[in-house]
């Protein structure tokens, strides 16, 4: 008896990412050492786990009631592979050429709905693959976990890459020792208080509460403005050196300290008038809500009964950083970032944002949900994400990977930052509205210089303590 396949309705998050104000495509740059082999890449895609995932082999269709569904179809791989043989810009720098290409994709190149919502662009002159996936198919955790099933360790082609967490602290974070009932009660009170405060701020941000205007502020309509892209490059060892210098800090604490310090440096350079010390600059960050943090076992993601399901499973956090004149101790930026993030960890803000979005989408439809999300972005200053990647060097189709980078479609923010770690390095793609931030390389250098100064200060402090 022939099985009749039925259409699968989109999840509320998937529907949200299809709305005009929130239409998001993830554009990932995968650099390789040797020239690309087109036939080998097509063969790898054809035989990959990716095409066994229903959303990658389904068309987006809209029924008579305006509801979106996935409808299984036969995938023609040739239609999903775009080959660019000629150099894509006149720039002498390979990095600048690829970044220019990704910046253009962020504002001017939607994915057609006559085929499943993904593509591979092969930039032959630049030894780079650009993987384009609509955010409705899945979030960064899902897509990175899926991509790595197609990769192998460079030093052992029989093994898949190792996944390692970067956001954990150097200690257990209070797991040891005996907890008294007073300690537990105090923690419960803190969770309740911070949840109330941050949830109220989240609601107010969706209504009228807005960051003060600075030279890096965006706003409604800025998502349509032309974009530029630059790459800030960090060494994980440098970030870990800074992490060890601040008690119980995490890589995320260091990252936000670097962002806070780097933005302060940039504002000092660009602002014609001195800013008020302590001015708040709020970022929107996505937080993974799966029970298991970090990248996932793909078999569990593809199991519909698993709590770690494939797709979009994240909430939004509002993460403020503050403008300060750079003083004698750059680690103060990390300490302030850590204090802020520790409070966020005690709240249910991320879970609340996911649930309220689900409720609004289910009860009032995608237009209102999209409007509320859009207003939050218009009332904040930047977007930031941090994705853990493989610890060691990897290959794809037998070709050593030289870098992994990602960015996404432009948003009302003038600055969007996406960082991915890979083999001891971390590259942060900084996508900017070029009419607001004409030289993103200067901003990238401000971030790099901030980390370098923090590392030098941490090393000097450690040396002083050893000499005592």
From the number of C-beta atoms within 10 Å of its C-beta (0-12, 13-18, 19+), residue 39 rates as: exposed
**Of 280, 278, 254, 270, nearest in space to 453 by CA:** 254
**Of 157, 457, 133, 437, nearest in space to 326 by CA:** 457
Residues 6+ apart with CB under 8 A from 340: 256, 319, 320, 321
**Of 29, 384, 449, 442, nearest in space to 228 by CA:** 442
Which one of 126, 134, 135, 413 is the catalytic residue?
Answer: 135
| Cα Rg of the chain, angstroms | 22
Tell me the C-alpha distance between 341 and 345, whole Å: 6
Q: Where are the beta strands (DSSP E) in 124-217?
A: 128-134, 151-153
Beta-strand relationship, 382-387 and 280-288? parallel
Beta-strand relationship, 128-134 and 118-123? antiparallel
- Cβ pair 279, 214 in contact under 8 A: yes
Query: CA angle, corner 418, sides to 281 and 289, nearest 5?
Result: 85
DSSP class of 394? E
Q: What are phi and psi of 413, to 5 degrees?
A: -70, 145
Q: Is 135 a catalytic residue?
A: yes
Query: CA angle, corner 125, sides to 123 and 130, nearest 5?
Result: 15
Q: Annotated catalytic sites, by residue?
A: 135
């Amino acid at each position: 008896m022939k099985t009749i396949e039925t259409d699968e309705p989109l999840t509320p998050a998937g529907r949200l990412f299809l709305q005009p104000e929130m239409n998001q495509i993830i554009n990932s740059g995968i650099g390789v050492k040797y020239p690309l082999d087109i036939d080998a890449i097509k063969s790898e895609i054809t035989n990959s786990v990716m095409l066994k995932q229903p959303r990658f082999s389904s068309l987006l269709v809209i029924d008579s009631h305006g509801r979106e569904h996935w409808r299984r179809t036969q995938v023609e791989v040739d239609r999903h592979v775009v080959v660019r043989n000629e150099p894509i810009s006149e720039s002498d720098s390979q990095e600048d050429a690829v970044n220019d290409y990704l910046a253009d994709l962020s504002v001017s190149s939607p994915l057609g709905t006559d085929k499943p919502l993904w593509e591979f662009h092969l930039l032959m002159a630049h030894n780079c693959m650009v993987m384009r996936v609509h955010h409705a198919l899945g979030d960064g955790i899902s897509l990175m976990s899926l991509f790595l099933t197609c990769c192998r360790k460079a030093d052992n082609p029989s093994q898949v890459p190792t996944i390692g967490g970067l956001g954990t602290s150097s200690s257990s974070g209070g797991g040891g020792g005996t907890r008294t009932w007073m300690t537990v009660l105090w923690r419960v009170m803190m969770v309740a208080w911070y949840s109330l405060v941050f949830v109220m701020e989240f609601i107010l941000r969706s209504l009228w509460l807005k960051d003060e205007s600075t030279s890096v502020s965006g706003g409604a309509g800025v998502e349509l403005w032309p974009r530029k892209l630059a790459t800030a490059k960090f060494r994980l060892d440098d970030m870990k050196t800074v992490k060890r210098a601040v008690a119980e800090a995490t890589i995320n604490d260091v990252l936000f300290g670097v962002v806070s310090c780097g933005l302060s440096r940039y504002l000092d350079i660009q602002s014609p008038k001195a800013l008020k010390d302590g001015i708040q600059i709020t970022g929107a960050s996505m937080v993974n809500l799966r029970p298991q943090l970090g990248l996932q076992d793909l078999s569990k993601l593809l199991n519909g009964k698993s709590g770690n399901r494939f797709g979009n499973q994240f909430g939004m956090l509002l993460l403020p950083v503050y403008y300060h004149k750079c003083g004698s101790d750059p680690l103060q930026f990390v300490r302030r970032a850590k204090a802020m993030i520790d409070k966020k960890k005690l709240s249910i803000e991320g879970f609340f944002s996911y649930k309220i979005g689900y409720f609004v989408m289910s009860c009032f439809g995608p237009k209102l949900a999209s409007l509320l999300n859009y207003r939050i972005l218009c009332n904040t200053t930047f977007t930031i994400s941090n994705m853990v990647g493989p610890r060691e060097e990897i290959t794809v189709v037998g070709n050593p990977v030289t870098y992994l980078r990602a960015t996404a479609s432009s948003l009302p923010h003038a600055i969007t930052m996406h960082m991915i770690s890979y083999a001891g390095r971390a590259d942060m793609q900084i996508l900017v509205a070029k009419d607001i931030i004409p030289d993103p390389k200067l901003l990238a250098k401000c971030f790099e210089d901030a980390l370098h100064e923090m590392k030098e200060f941490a090393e000097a402090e450690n040396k002083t303590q050893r000499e005592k």
